[in-house]
């Protein structure tokens, strides 16, 4: 049998069959370390989500967006581009200035100085005046604004004035068609007027300039009248004060029958002055006698007696001057002198006040002859060629922004309440 195998006989082979998976993996492994393989756990997969679909709340939000945003925007667009009338603008600009002229009396007296430049307080007053109801009524009286703006009520009720508008309504509407820009640093005022026709806008702007000029001139007249009235009042008071001072001094002279008290006192002091001179001479003579004779000389004794008599007389004269009652006055000379000096000082002061008041009055009258404030127009009222208002794109954009914000806030509030519930 061994030989037969060596002679080329091929042994019979079994047909290859499919081996189990476990046996195949075991055959591929090394034979030295046979071991078992743990079973794998099955992977759990979630089912696929269904396609998103509109729910009831989504349809409600979409409906609210259409109702609160799209429909109002559509209405606004239709009104702005199909219904609203075109409006034209007119611009003017001016400023209140002060004159830089100074008169000679102002320079010499130093009572007032006027410097050139803008007047901010006056510009503040003019700014409020342009926005006031008084100006609106004044322009309405001149150009019949209520009739003009209410004529477009049927075609453009949003931007027109209602026919039965009152003065307060006109003032409110005046703030819509007249816009004032004020530069406080330079005192410049710019006024923009927009109406349904270009010529009417220019007329209103020109009337604003005219009324502003009238108002500034009124301020000038009021300031002049006040300055003159105060100057005349001060001058009248100074005249009265000077008159009273002079009358008191005259009454004093009449009562004392002394025209000049100082001269009268100097006359009475003349006796004392003569005695003083005699005393000086006698003292010199006594010194000469004392130098040439003895002290027992009768001439020395007589000289001493004369000196003593002169001194006593001087003392008596001084006492009489200080204590003697002036007839008809009941006062002595010192009291009269004090009263006289007080009256003299009052008169001198009244004269100085009168001269100052007279100078101020002259300066006030000089200032009243020239205009210290005036309206400087740097932009004359313009005449528009094309309409500028209403600003449709801006109004539409603002309306869209407002509606979107309002709708978004309402939606956020809805979801907040829904989540809390």
What helix, strand, coil percent values describe the chain, rounded to 5?
65, 10, 25
Q: Which two tokens stand for residue 358?
A: 């007279």
Per the omega criterion (within 30 degrees of 0), is the bond before 250 cis? Answer: no
CA distances 207 to 135, 143, 417, Å, are: 10, 9, 58
Q: Dihedrals φ, ψ of 82, to 5°?
A: -120, -25
- For 95, the 3-state DSSP assignment is strand
Q: Sign of torsion, CA 272 276 279 281?
A: negative
Architecture of domain 85-235+370-388: 2-Layer Sandwich (3.30)
pLDDT tens, residue by residue, 184-200 = 888 899 999 999 999 99
According to the model, what pLDDT value does residue 371 have?
62
Q: Which two tokens stand for residue 118?
A: 């803008």
**Mean pLDDT throughout 263-282?**
76
More confident residue, 276 or 70: 70
Strand-pairing partners, residue 377, are: 94
Identify the band that residue 293 occupies on the pLDDT scale cut at 50, 70 and 90. confident
Cα–Cα distance for residue pair 206/200, rounded to 1 Å: 10
According to the model, what pLDDT value does residue 306 have?
86
Q: 26 pLDDT exceeds 60?
A: no
According to the model, what pLDDT value does residue 24 have?
44
Q: 211 pLDDT exceeds 80?
A: yes
Q: 25 pLDDT exceeds 60?
A: no
Q: Where are the domains of the chain?
A: 61-83+390-421, 85-235+370-388, 236-367
According to the model, what pLDDT value does residue 239 have?
92
Q: Residues 223, 122: contact at Cβ < 8 Å? A: no
Q: 119 pLDDT exceeds 50?
A: yes
Q: Are strands 117-118 and 178-183 parallel, antiparallel or unpaired?
A: unpaired
DSSP letters along 171-229, please? HHHHHHHEEEEEETTTTEEEEEEEESSHHHHHHHHHHHHHHHHHHHHHHHHHHHHHHHH
Long-range contacts of 382-387, Cβ-Cβ distance < 8 Å, separation of 24 or more: 382/89, 382/90, 382/91, 382/92, 382/202, 382/205, 383/90, 383/198, 383/199, 383/202, 384/88, 384/89, 384/90, 384/198, 384/201, 385/198, 386/88, 387/86, 387/87, 387/88
According to the model, what pLDDT value does residue 322 have?
63
Q: 3 pLDDT exceeds 80?
A: no
pLDDT tens, residue by residue, 339-371 = 888 888 999 999 999 999 999 888 888 877 776
pLDDT tens, residue by residue, 295-337 = 777 887 888 888 888 888 888 777 766 666 665 566 777 777 7
Q: 117 pLDDT exceeds 70?
A: no
Q: 202 pLDDT exceeds 60?
A: yes
pLDDT tens, residue by residue, 215-233 = 998 888 888 888 888 889 9
Record the pTM.
Answer: 0.61
According to the model, what pLDDT value does residue 21 have?
44
According to the model, what pLDDT value does residue 382 have?
95
Q: Burial, 124: exposed, middle or buried (Cβ in 10 Å; 0-12, 13-18, 19+)?
A: middle
User: By C-alpha distance, which of 146, 204, 205, 141 is closest to 172?
Assistant: 146
Q: Residues 347, 246: contact at Cβ < 8 Å? A: yes
**Mean pLDDT throughout 117-139?**
86
Q: Report the chain's mean pLDDT, rounded to a whole number.
A: 80
Cα–Cα distance for residue pair 130/199, rounded to 1 Å: 20
Return the percentage of the chain with pLDDT > 90, whole number. Answer: 40
């Amino acid at each position: 049998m061994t030989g037969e195998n060596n002679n080329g006989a091929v042994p019979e082979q079994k047909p290859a069959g499919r081996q189990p998976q476990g046996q195949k993996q075991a055959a591929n492994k090394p034979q030295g370390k046979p071991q078992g393989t743990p079973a794998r756990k099955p992977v759990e997969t979630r089912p696929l989500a269904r396609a998103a679909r509109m729910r009831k709340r989504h349809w409600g939000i979409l409906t609210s967006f259409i109702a609160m945003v799209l429909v109002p925007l559509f209405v606004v667009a239709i009104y702005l581009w199909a219904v609203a009338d075109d409006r034209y603008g007119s611009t003017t600009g001016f400023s209140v200035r002060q004159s830089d002229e100074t008169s000679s009396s102002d320079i010499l007296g130093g009572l007032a100085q006027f410097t050139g430049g803008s007047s901010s307080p006056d510009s503040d007053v003019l700014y409020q005046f342009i926005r006031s109801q008084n100006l609106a009524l004044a322009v309405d009286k001149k150009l019949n604004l209520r009739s003009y703006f209410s004529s477009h009520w049927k075609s453009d009720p949003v931007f027109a004035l209602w026919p039965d508008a009152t003065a307060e309504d006109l003032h409110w509407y005046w703030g819509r068609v007249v816009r004032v820009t004020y530069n406080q640093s330079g005192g410049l005022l710019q006024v923009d007027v927009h109406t349904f026709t270009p010529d009417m806008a220019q007329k209103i702007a020109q009337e604003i300039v005219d009324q502003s000029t009238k108002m500034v001139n009124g301020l000038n007249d009021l300031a002049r009248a006040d300055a003159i009235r105060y100057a005349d009042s001060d001058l009248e008071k100074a005249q009265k004060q000077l008159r009273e001072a002079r009358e008191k001094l005259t009454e004093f002279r009449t009562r004392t029958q002394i025209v000049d008290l100082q001269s009268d006192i100097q006359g009475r002091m003349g006796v004392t002055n003569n005695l003083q001179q005699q005393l000086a001479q006698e003292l010199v003579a006594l010194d000469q006698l004392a130098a040439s004779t003895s002290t027992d000389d009768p001439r020395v004794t007589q000289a001493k007696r004369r000196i003593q008599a002169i001194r006593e007389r001087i003392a008596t004269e001084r006492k009489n001057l200080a204590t003697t009652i002036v007839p008809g006055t009941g006062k002595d000379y010192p009291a009269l002198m004090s009263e006289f000096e007080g009256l003299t000082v009052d008169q001198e002061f009244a004269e100085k006040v009168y001269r100052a008041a007279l100078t101020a009055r002259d300066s006030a009258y000089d200032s009243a002859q020239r205009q210290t404030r005036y309206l400087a127009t740097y932009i004359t009222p313009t005449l528009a060629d094309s309409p500028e208002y209403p600003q449709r794109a801006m109004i539409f954009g603002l309306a869209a922004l407002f509606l979107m914000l309002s709708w978004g806030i309402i939606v956020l509030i809805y979801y907040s309440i829904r989540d809390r519930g």
